[in-house]
Homo-oligomer: A and B are copies of this chain.
Amino acid sequence: MTDQQEQRQNRRIDPANCSMGRALSVVGERWSLLIVREALDGASRFGDFRARLGIASNLLSTRLDSLVAAGVLQRVPYREPGDRERFEYRLTEKGTDLRPTVIALLEWGDKYLADEQGPSVVVRHHSPEGSGCDEPVALVLQCAAGHTDLPPASVYRSPGPGARFLPA
């Protein structure tokens, strides 16, 4: 029996009982991750997002609301001098924790979909004003024993504490 045949017959984790599916229900459509990307890059106001993304204002409105509802963004009042109170949308910790996801997509896009000139964006270590190394940053898969550079085949999904299985 081949691996695949075996896998097909084994008790399988219910795919709906997967954090990735839930994650996608929050950020799994056209705009959410792009909004998060811009927020990670400093955008916070309605107009910032609108200008940077070219998103329709009604959609931006509903997406911002749903990201606030999901706890990814926080609605914070502000007031520019000589202007009325307005709101801006700041990333929560839950929001900034999407950075690896954004970077993973960015890296994949850079590898397979970039212009001939190369990637348009490079993520670097150390803040713009800071001193520091300024080296490019990458995501690395690493196991708890410290092994790194894991080839795809050496990584597998196993049931965790919250696993539910499919009926045989």
Q: Does A114 contact B (CB under 8 A)?
A: yes
Interface string of A154-167 (1 = CB under 8 A from B): 11111111111000
- A101 touching B105 in the complex, CB below 8 Å, given contacts A144-B138, A145-B135, A157-B122: yes
A99/B152 in contact, CB under 8 A: yes
> With A101-B108, A140-B139 as given contacts, are A162 and B24 in contact (CB-CB < 8 Å)?
no
Q: How far does the Cβ of A152 sit from chain B's closest Cβ, in whole Å?
A: 4
Using known A-B contacts A119-B161, A160-B120, determine if residue A104 contacts B19 with beta carbons closer than 8 Å: no
A116: chain B residues at CB < 8 Å are 162
Interface size on A, residues (CB 8 A): 99
Task: Please classify the interface of chain A as helix (H, G, I), strand (E, B), loop, or mixed, using the class held by over half of its residues.
Answer: mixed
Task: List 30 A-B pairs, Cβ < 8 Å.
Answer: A3-B129, A13-B121, A16-B54, A18-B121, A19-B108, A19-B120, A20-B33, A21-B34, A23-B105, A23-B106, A24-B34, A98-B108, A99-B141, A101-B108, A115-B162, A117-B161, A119-B160, A123-B158, A124-B158, A125-B147, A125-B154, A126-B154, A133-B145, A133-B147, A136-B144, A137-B142, A137-B144, A139-B139, A139-B142, A140-B141
Compute how far the CA of A85 lies from the CA of B109 in the bound complex, rounded to whole angstroms. Answer: 34
